Amino acid sequence: MMFFDTLFGSVKSRWKTYRASRKKKKAPLVLAIDDIHLLPHYGQVRSNAPMATNNAIPGAGTVVHNAPILAGPFHQAHHVVLNNANFYGYRNQPVPVANDMISTGRPVLEVLMEYTDSRAYVDSSARHPPPSCHQSTQFNMIWLHGPAGTGKSAVAQTFAMECEQRGRFGASYFFSHTRGWNKYVMVIPSLAYQLAVQFPPYRNLLASAIANDPQLLRDKAPPVQFTKLIIRPFQLLQIQGRHPIETPFLVLLDGLDECESQDAQCELIHMIADAARNHRALPFFWLICSHMEEHLQYAFSGIKECGRDTLAIDAECCDDVERFLRSEFAKIKATFYNLVPSNWPSEADFSIVMRAVSGLFIFGSTVMKDIGSAECANPVQRLQVLISFLENVEGTASTNPLQALDLFYARILSDVPETIFPTTWRILAFLIYMPEDKNGGPRKPRSAQFYHASFQDFLLDPQRSGRFFISKQKARVEVLKSSLFWHEFDSVQFHAANGRVRLGGPCQHDPFPNFKWVSEGNHGAISTLISKYAVDRKICWESFEDLDKNTSEPELLSLSQQLDYRYLNLGFRAMCFLDRFLPWVLSQDPSGGPFRTKPCDDIDHQLLSYMNMVIEKPARPAALQGLYERWTGHHTDTRFVEYLFIGKGYKSIIVWNQSLKQSFKVRALNRDRAPTLEMIAEMRRDHD
């Protein structure tokens, strides 16, 4: 731990005087940085810091490369005589590092990659350009700094890069709930993948672990994966002694509080603490960066092996931010040299900005992006608008360091014209609350992302954002309204010709016509994205489960009543449609809304006659309450076919349960045409 002790000691030398006077402690195996992170001024690394040698594998310390794989029973034997011996040839060769094949015939890294999230790595292109410590404050040092919005990820990034340069970087995971990099199940495989890339001897053992337990990546819980994918392989390397690791390497978790659930966060903490406590010989130095949330404080409180340090915004932080602001103003002047006076900005204006930013790095970064916006291309005017705003803020007393940032966010949103703001609000709501796809990945467009998590935090806190608040319920309703609109548009436009209600299946067709707002080059791609979005059952039907059933949503209910159900895709066996959508409708309208069990007009009677042409058993109306549970339960009365109607007038369909004793089957018809003999035969088949 000498390297990390030295590096972190250089940070502590720049802390406040009372912290510098504390007794120096040996760096623990686990370092939790609660509310404030590595300052961008780690100080000069002391000359006695051990450096990686030329034969060191990056991230793994010094490694013996030429150690034999297996010596064998006759290693260095000579003058051996064997009498009456039978010889059998056996070829034992180490698996080449580049072809660590497991039983499936695929390289281990290729198999492991499916269960990782490479966007959360330290060198990910998705994080480019990554946040990093400002050059003017770096001085070959790394920093740790402030509460929310003070540069935690920039610090973690810079520290990881410092470790990588010294051959001490192992793996990292940068959590981000705004970008969807917060899946607990992705963390351990992602770390294992990076360690395997950094350390080939470990990669061979990892391949064996996956080959011996093919379900390890797919079905096992993270603690099991942690033990079998990381702890045991490195234990085996240490025991064998063929590839000794003389120095530890960094494993970094940044933004742990953005992991998807509090339980997951605490479980990760306890897993790492257990490794630090019970496996001290392993070559890991764990760095955990997070806010000081209450549940995390409790989780860390009982871990003696965990060192804890909290920093506050101090004079040195303000000096660093001042250097950053002056550097950014210089860049803007160089870019807009023909628009900006040589003496711009005045010291008075700079002082107002400096006082408002008050050491909060994210605030400084945000205002400088606003001033230097290429879209506005008028930095002098943008600065004057900002100064007017900040002068009003200075008169507002508050102990909350984020208040000025909140007011700045509110001012930006206030500048959006009232006629445009509803669309702006929906875009922001979709970015936050768009459901994930079936594989757990986000559907959020890469072209629109939050610059910093503090803006999303602002929007989700009604006390901070006021009228700009984005409630989960309202956002989910907007997502569903949009999904139902496009689902109906897609189905009527492209699926009316076959006259069938769809129960799953692909959605492939020509681009949408008359999209005047889409460029010719993007027409096909945009149409494909909309089609996938429209028929995605997780958005269109499953998301109804996320709504508060005690909250009245008349607009969404009205939309569901007016839908043209004739060609909609109800999904495989209509499971989500009946299990999620129907219960929500009943919570809004106990009479059933678009659902009913008795025919109410000639169209319903015609639909009933069409169904009778197909079924081979007596029919009876279904009961709407608990319908899905009855149809899928083991006590279903299979002597009867149960049916219900959905929709209004010519847009209606009839849906029935064609269940056998061991299976659940749904069939549906609209009134476009009477069932043909071919259709009847197809719908009577036992399979879907």
126 vs 286: CA distance, rounded Å: 24
242 vs 236: CA distance, rounded Å: 10
**pLDDT of 139:** 29
**More confident: 314 or 558:** 558
Q: What DSSP letter does each residue of 428-483 carry, written as one string?
A: HHHHHHPPP-TTS-----TTS--S-HHHHHHHH-HHHHGGG---HHHHHHHHHHHH
Residue 52 neighbours by CB under 8 Å, 6+ apart: 58, 61, 62, 166, 167, 168, 247
415 burial (CB, 10 Å; 0-12 / 13-18 / 19+) is: exposed
Which range has highest mean pLDDT (35-39, 644-648, 672-676)?
A: 644-648
* 117, 183 Cβ separation under 8 angstroms: yes
* 38, 288 Cβ separation under 8 angstroms: no
Q: Whole-number mean pLDDT of the chain?
A: 75
Task: Read off the pLDDT of residues 348-381 as tens digits, 9 standing for 90 and up.
Answer: 999 988 888 877 777 888 888 889 887 778 899 9
H-helix or E-strand spanning residue 485: helix 472-494
* 172, 197 Cβ separation under 8 angstroms: no
Task: Read off the pLDDT of residues 70-87 as tens digits, 9 standing for 90 and up.
Answer: 444 555 565 655 555 544
411 vs 393: CA distance, rounded Å: 11
Asked whether residue 433 carries a pLDDT value surpassing 60, the answer given is: yes
- pLDDT band, residue 48 (cuts 50/70/90): very low
Average pLDDT over residues 458-478: 93
Asked whether residue 530 carries a pLDDT value surpassing 90, the answer given is: no
Average pLDDT over residues 581-610: 94
**pLDDT of 415:** 86
Side chain identity, residue 424: T
**pLDDT of 311:** 55
Which range is least confidently modeled, 25-39, 133-147, 311-325? 25-39
Question: Which residue has 């009577």 as its token pair?
Answer: 684
Asked whether residue 255 carries a pLDDT value surpassing 50, the answer given is: yes
H-helix or E-strand spanning residue 178: none
Other CB atoms within 10 Å distance of the CB of residue 13 = 16
Which range is least confidently modeled, 155-164, 247-256, 303-312, 571-580? 303-312
Q: Which of 254, 113, 251, 250 is nearest to 179 (CA)?
A: 254
Asked whether residue 125 carries a pLDDT value surpassing 60, the answer given is: no
**pLDDT of 50:** 34
- pLDDT band, residue 522 (cuts 50/70/90): confident
- Beta-sheet strand order (sheet of 249-254): 169-174, 249-254, 284-289, 30-33, 306-309
pTM of the model: 0.61
- Tokens, residue 510: 């020509």
* 200, 98 Cβ separation under 8 angstroms: no
Sequence-ordered alpha helix ranges (H) in 495-623: 523-535, 537-540, 554-562, 575-576, 582-588, 602-614
β-pair partners for 33: 289, 309
- pLDDT band, residue 396 (cuts 50/70/90): low
* 6, 46 Cβ separation under 8 angstroms: yes
**pLDDT of 260:** 87
196 vs 203: CA distance, rounded Å: 5
Q: What DSSP letter does each residue of 335-398 carry, written as one string?
A: HTTTTS-TTPSPHHHHHHHHHHHTT-HHHHHHHHHHHT-TTT--HHHHHHHHHHHHHHHHTS--
